Structures are given as structure tokens and as C-alpha cells.
Chains A and B, each alone.
Chain A
Amino acid sequence: MTTAENGSAVEVQDLVKAFGDFVAVDHVSFQVKKGEIFGFLGPNGAGKSTVIRILCGLLTPTSGGGMVAGFDVGEHPEEIRKHIGYMSQKFSLYDDLTVEENIDFFSRIYGVPRERRGERKEYVLRMAGLEDRRATTTRLLAGGWKQRLALGCAIVHEPSILFLDEPTSGVDPIARRGFWDLIYQLAEAGHSILVTTHYMDEAEYCHRLALIYRGKLIALGVPLALKRDMHSQQLLQLDTSDLLATMQALEAEPGVMSVAVFGAGLHVTVQDATAATARIRQVLEQKSIAIRRLDGIQPSMEDVFVALIEAEDQRTP
């Protein structure tokens, strides 16, 4: 129980999972602290779900391992299952059962004591806002409600650790925001949460974030720090009268590392903002392209992510 005592809910050491020749998880190590919302950010197929499935005891690791709630992943998966809640990517409740029946079923499967089941059910219904729909067949619920119910069923036994695998995929933005409010509530109530996502905005809601790409963990840290640490480089926001011509003009320019369309303007990564700003003004003036805006900006999570992935691709093509 050492890890549980010293404050980590999850500890992963050198985890590797290979499917034949394909290495889905490549020597990944990290820790999730108690009460922390730990995010896994990465494109589809990066290996996020595989890590979660290993930690839930659904897959056996090829090598390396981890501790969840103080139990070894390889040796005591049954013990781990009592202490975790898991929400898989796919909606996974019984849609021919009612809201209440789903909660009752998971409550009994997880071994919630009989005398506590009523109380836990009311808590879940209240938390998910489904008090008025307890007798509704799950199939008839809208996507956002289903997602909240699935979360409710995953926490009915008050697990110390929650694994949420893309919990908000296919849910509208407002419902997503509401869902994250729930995640915060749960973290405040002491649950540790490991959540995967490929939404950048969601990634910024996490306390700490791990970036996963092609099975490798390429960065780990607090979102703000990740953005601050990003590059020795700096980022400029550039709006002009002709974006395409601007891109062509700047691409060959020394000192300009990348130019990417971002919304209605361009994000230009440069080595030195002051020098680059002067140079850009000069180049565009020659081409008679009008500049509407040219400022240094804070990189967004997406900028960080794109930059890191490009760096990774250059290292191992």
C-alpha cells in the first residue's frame, strides 16, 4: 500500500504493450496523484486507450507495469477492479434497461452494501440530473444524459480512481462543459481521475497533462507550464489581406520556423519575435500585402501539441 500512502493513486513504470509488430504503448511512465485530474492528450490511435485498458486489467502489458490503488496491475487485477470506475469510449450501458435499473445493476455488481444502495442511487441520480427520468429507458436519453449516467454508474461504488476514456466524444459542447463540471466535483470529493481526450480545450481543464504520440509520452506537465516551456521559439499572430500569398512569402524566410493557418489568420513560429516582426513587415510591404494585425501571442495548447509532434516526427521519421 506504499504508493497509496505516499499520495499517488496510479503509478506506471516503463509500460510497454505490443500487438504483434505494432508497439501501441512504448515505455510510458507517469504518476497520478490523489485527487488529481490527470489528462491524456493525443491523436486517435496514439495509445491512450491501451494504457487505460491495461490499468483496468482489461489487457495484459507486454512488459513494465504499474500500481493502481496500491495493487500491482499484473498480479492483483481483481483487487484493482473493486477500487476503480471505468468509462469506455463506447457508450456501454444497457439501453433496454431503465436509468434506475442500470444504476441498480452496477451497484450490485460492484458490491455496494445493500443498506447503502438506496443512498448511492439517489446520489448518482442527483449528480447526473436524472432524478425525473429514473424510469426512462436508457435508449431514449439524449447523448449528454447517457454520458452522465455512464459516469454515474462508474462511480456508484465510490471508487478512489476513475478512468474516463474519451468520455465526451460525440457530445455537444454545452453538455461537454457540464460534464467537466462533474469531473471537477468528483476530484474535489477526493476521486483521482485519469481522463483521455483529443479536445484541446478539455486538455486545459486538467491539473496535469501527458501528451501521447505514437505510443510515446512526449511531454508531461501542468498545462500552463507546458505552454510556457514551449520552445525557445515564440509565436506571432498575423492577419493580412492575402493569407495564401503571405504564407508563400514567409515560408522561405530564415528565422521563420513554421507558418500555419489558425482561424482567420496565421500563426507564425519564429526564433526571435522582435527581429522577425521587423523582417515580416519589410517582406510583406515589398509584396504589397496589407498587414491588419501582427502581435506576439501566448501559444495555445494546440500550438504546443503541434510543435511537439513536429519535433517528434523530425527525430523519428
Chain B
Amino acid sequence: MKLRRTRAVFQKEFRHILRDSRSLIMALVLPMFQMLLFGYALNLDVDRIPTLIYDADQSAASRALIERFRGSRFFEIEGFVNSYAGIEKAIDKSEVLMGLAIPRDYSQRISAGDKANLQILLDGSDSNTASIGLSYVESMVQNYALEVRSAGQERLAGMDLTSPVEARLRIWYNNTLESKNYIVPGLIAAMMMVIAALLTSLTVAREWEMGTMEQLLSTPVRAEEIVMGKMLAFFVVGVVDTVVASLVGIFIYGVPFRGSPWVLALTTVIFLTGAFFWGILVSAVARTQTLAYQMGLVSTFLPSFLLSGFMYAIENMPAPIQVITHVVPARYFVTIVRGIFLKGVGLNVLWGEVLFLIAFSSIVFWLATRKLKQKLA
């Protein structure tokens, strides 16, 4: 591989990029747009669940319970009704997601020290929100029940009784458990895979369509030099995109950045190289721009968004799918970016992922040059 020819390809390719202003603007604006769109839309936090209350008891005890709900950030009391039917109707119309029914004998049973029942109605058509809402209610009611019981016992025993065991939870890395802290770094990783592959997916195919590839292949330039030169030209765009996406994450979403920017830079370079080579490989195989674009999109978008662990935890996937995720480069980069952003870890922890990305990039580079060397027909 000769530096002179690689540089000639690089400069030529860079001129193409600069002169195709429409594509360039898209390449620079698209990541920002995606960050904003996905970052806000993919909010997995469940709070302020709209709740309707049917209080049949109308006592001090029931009102104390309702106050608990009112005070929680997880629930938003939309109003009161006088029957079950009212709750049902509101859930059917999707006006509320949850209904709380307090039975007529609630206060009686509480003061008698008996077991009182509450009825919770949840709209299960959104199973995720329903199950999270359910767990909120359960933990809240349980706490409340404990308090009620100990208050009763204290009254009986005349002394301060507290629950013998108490769990004190401390959540690391994302202590407010906000999903954006989890989503945004993963989004940067998954999105860059797609953008990088799409950027290069047209370049070889365009040369086949224009006839310039045949011309290039008749010159002393080698396949390695073509692939490397093209990759480097798009690299500049890719780095700008990653920086923009990271800045949006840090400043607009307020995601903590605890690691080293240098480790992020280094791993990004390795990751982008592989993603760009992938686009070039796809382009060399497809030979037409339309096909190359579609292949580039399908081969990166679905795996990067669904199988990288960016949205869905890999541990929850069926075993065969889990196996497939091991060859998805975005999976490793998602781990790396999250690690750097949230945990502040460095290469001593992430070396395995980095090694995979290096291997991926080398293999794809080899495949792409081999494909280009296959000459015509």
C-alpha cells in the first residue's frame, strides 16, 4: 500500500464530499436530529401515571391513603368517581391508566386491626407501564401497611417499634435511575454505526455506476489504497458527528460524563473505522447505489438498534438471539460508550470490547479489498 496513492484517493474523495453539499448537510444534521428525536421519544421512565380514585369509604383513613398517592411523583390523581363503572369507562377511553378502589369497610378493618383490601385496576394493554405501575403501588402500599401496623402496635405496646429489617438501596452509576442516562450513550453508539455505514455505502457503488471504477482498476492503484483512502475521507465527517452527538448528550440531556474523553476518542476511531469499512464492503457487493443504500440500512439499523443492548437488555433475549448479538459491533460500542459516560471506566475494563472492534474492522477491510480485487464480472 502506497501512501501517495492512498492520499490521492483520500483527497479526491474528500472533494466529492465537500461538493455534494446536500449529502454533507444531511450527514451533519441527521445525527443531531436523531439524538433529539430518539432521546426524547425513547423515554422509558414511568411516572405521573394518570390515576382515578373510587373512594367508597370516605373516611380519615382512606383520605390518608389517598394523600400518599397524591404526594408521590409516580402518580397523578386525575379525579374521583363514585363507582367501579366510572373507572372502567375512563380506562376504556384511555383517559387514565390506573384506578384505585377503596372498599366501604376500609377504615373499619384498619382500626380493628384486620386485613383491609384495596383494589387496583391497571390498563394492561401497555404491559410495561402496567407492570412498573403495579410495582410502585405494591411498594407504596406495603410501606404504608407497615406504618399502619407499627402505629397500631406502638399504641398497644406503648413503645417505638420499627421493622426489624430494612433494605437501604443505593444505585450506582445512574443513581436517579433516569432512563435517559442509559439511553443516550447507547443511542450515540447505535446511531453512529448506521450513519457511518450509510455514508460510505454509496461511494463504491457510485463509481461502478459512473464507470470510474473500471478506469481506477486499470491504473496501478490497489484495492487496499482505494478502501483506505475512501474510509479516511469519511472519517472526518464521522468524527464531527460523534462529537456533536456527545455534546448533545452531555449538554442538552445532561448525561454525566465520568470517563476520559481520550478513551472515548480512541474507541470511537476504532469503531468508526469498522463501520466505514462495512459500508464500503456493502457498496462493493451491491454495485448500484439504490441497492447499496438499502443493504447498508438494513444491515446496520436493525442489529444496532435491536440487538446491541441499546434498548433491550441482551440478558432478556432468547439464547439463540443472544448468540447473534455477539457479532453485532454496535453491541460492543454500546458497552464502551456507556462504560465511559456512566461508569468512568477505561481500557483496563473495556479491552475485550476494543479487541473485538479491532478484529471486526480488520476482517471487514480484508473482505472489502478482496471484493474489489475480483475485477469485472
Contacts and interface: CB of A to CB of B under 8 A. Distances in A.
Interface of A: 19, 53, 56-60, 78, 81-82, 84, 86, 88-97, 101, 105-106, 108-111, 163
A86 B215 contact: yes
Nearest to A53: B376
Contacts of A105: 8, 11-12
A114 to B, nearest CB: 9
Contacts, number: 76
Nearest to A91: B211
24 contacts: A56-B218, A57-B217, A57-B218, A57-B375, A78-B220, A81-B220, A88-B214, A90-B214, A91-B211, A92-B210, A94-B12, A94-B210, A94-B212, A96-B19, A96-B20, A97-B15, A97-B16, A105-B11, A108-B5, A108-B7, A109-B8, A109-B9, A109-B221, A163-B218
Contacts of B15: 96-97, 101
Nearest to A137: B19
Contacts of B218: 56-58, 81, 84, 86, 88, 163
A92 B8 contact: no
Main secondary structure of the interface of A (DSSP, over half): loop
B377 interface: yes
B52 to A, nearest CB: 63
Contact of A94 (B16, B219, B375): B16
Nearest to A96: B19
Nearest to A163: B218
A81 B210 contact: no
B298 interface: no
Nearest to B2: A111
Please tell me the size bucket of the interface on B.
20 to 34
A110 B220 contact: yes
B210 A59 contact: no
A227 B81 CA distance: 107
A28 to B, nearest CB: 18
Interface centre among B12, B20, B211 (most CB of A within 10 A): B12
Contacts of B265: none
Contacts of B42: none
Contacts of B222: 78
B223 to A, nearest CB: 11
B140 to A, nearest CB: 64
B321 interface: no
Nearest to A84: B218
Among A88, A94, A109, max chain B CB count under 10 A is at: A109
Interface in B1-43: 4-5, 7-9, 11-12, 15-16, 19-20
Interface in B202-229: 210-212, 214-222
Contacts of B12: 94, 97, 101, 105
Nearest to A98: B15
A57 B218 CA distance: 7
